[in-house]
Amino acid sequence: MEIILKNLKIVEPGSNLNGRKRDIRIQDGRIVRIAAEIEAPRSVTVRDFKGARVSPGWVDVGAYSGEPGYEERETLEHLARAAAAGGYTTVCIMPRTKPVLQSKSEIRFILDRSRALAVDLLPIGAVSKDLAAVEMAEMYLMKEAGAVAFSDADKGIQKSGLLLRALDYLRYHPDTLLIQQSYDGELSGSGQMHEGHFSTLLGLRGIPSMAEVAGIQRDLEILKYTGSGMLIHKLSTAEGISLIRQARKNNPRLFASVSVFNLAYEDKDLETLDANLKLFPPVRSTSDRTALIKGLKDGSIDLICSDHQPMNPERKDLEFQAAGFGAISLETAYSLARTRLADELSDELWVEKVALNPRKILGLNTEGIAEDAEADLSFFDPAASWTYRVENVRSLSRNSPLLGQTLSGKVLGIFKKDQLITPQA
């Protein structure tokens, strides 16, 4: 394919092209020229973006698929469609499937299916067999087969001995991370939302901040002992960020992520008891949200994840107390950030946290926007508005708190695998 993309403002912090309006010529999947003005021969396709933004392709870490095993929630094809519509060119998938992604055959299944899809779907291998925290899975064989990282998904690794063995093993694979959702399961118990004023007001059992803080403290001590690499996934508390900020001074391979939901919402937003805002970790207090944003800006938090968790109506369309945790968000993560965080989260900071840092941390393509680089691009317009309707949803599931809302900031498409994909919202 040969195409010229015109009038694009490049957003790539650290590049000498950052903030400049340029035309980009692509041939056979690679960028062959970048210039202020590129004259287009009649035989070449032209797409004028009229001043919209372009950045290196976005990467989501820790999304959930249904396939294999729960195809009624999400197939890999629908996941890829949702990702492309949301501006993501690469999605790293958690191992909570059926069967669990716990051997080389499941890893190869995801990679083989990904080849025919619009975006790259990269499997995260399970640490323990069946996510049961009893016996370690075949981590070495999964790594050889192409697992991008390892995790026990939203369960985290609750048993200290297993976490120690897993991190000790990864000392011999310094290019590989363990992704850990840190919390103490006994302290979080059967909580439904953040423990505080609003949980009391609504009569719901709370999930205390202490559950996350205690989990992080344990995990950091074990990490310090082994000297391995770890990504603390989906931070939600001010105290947790303080612990990470301090620990990072002595460990350059300690990283942290945050869910876009925890940046955009607070526990007071649950007053309507919208089950689609029942998330884990829960959205927390105003002070927690403020601390998370500060952590993004000062570098204590490296990544923003979409926290995409599709769920069928039988598990979600229930009273709040009975509903499952999770919401879909691949298609709307950028727009949610622009709608609720426009004054706090610049496009440069967004690109740093969803494109540049994930690539560095996971060892993915970091060529960026440059001549002779692979064309792996995301296009977006921070000034555009659109309404997220049911008929727009690419995911098989509909568990989003944003349905029916008019949002600011619109993804215009991606260029990936020598294809320009521009979903209409």
Could you tell me the fold of the domain covering 1-54? Urease, subunit C; domain 1 (2.30.40)
227 — pLDDT class (breaks 50, 70, 90): very high
Instruction: Tell me: cis bond preceding 95? Omega within 30 of 0 counts.
Output: no
Phi, psi values for residue 297, rounded to 5°: -70, -35
The predicted pLDDT at position 424 comes to 59
Residue-wise pLDDT for 230-264, tens only, equals: 999 999 999 999 999 999 999 999 999 999 999 99
CATH topology of domain 56-362: TIM Barrel (3.20.20)
Whole-angstrom CA distances from 299 to 182, 225, 362, 366 are: 19, 24, 17, 19
User: What tokens appear for 154 in the block?
Assistant: 């939203």
CB 6 within 8 A of CB 47: yes
> How confident is the model over 288-320, as pLDDT tens digits?
999 999 999 999 999 999 999 999 999 999 999
User: pLDDT tens across 21-80, in order?
Assistant: 999 999 999 999 999 999 989 889 999 999 999 999 999 999 999 999 999 999 999 999
Residue 326 to residue 3: CA distance in whole angstroms: 39
What is Dmax (Cα atoms) for the chain? 67
| High-pLDDT (> 90) share of the chain, % | 96
Angle of helix 238-247 versus helix 209-226 axis, rounded to 10: 10
pLDDT for res 399:
97
Out of 154, 288, 307, 347, the active site residue is 307
CA proximity to 4, closest of 42, 52, 57: 42
* pLDDT above 70: percentage of residues in the chain: 100
Q: β-strands 21-27, 2-10: how paired?
A: antiparallel
Mean pLDDT on 173-180: 93
**Domain limits of the chain?**
1-54, 56-362
Tokens representing residue 270 in the block = 């649950």
Q: Using 50, 70 and 90 to split pLDDT, how confident is the model at 425?
A: very low
Q: Is 60 a catalytic residue?
A: no
Cα–Cα distance between 76 and 73 in angstroms, integer? 10
Quick check: do 1-54 and 56-362 share a fold?
no
Count the residues in the chain.
425
Backbone φ, ψ for residue 389 (5° rounding): -105, 160
Is the CB of residue 321 less than 8 Å from the CB of residue 192?
yes
Q: How far apart are CA 260 and CA 325, in angstroms?
A: 15
pLDDT in tens, 143-163: 999 999 999 999 899 999 999
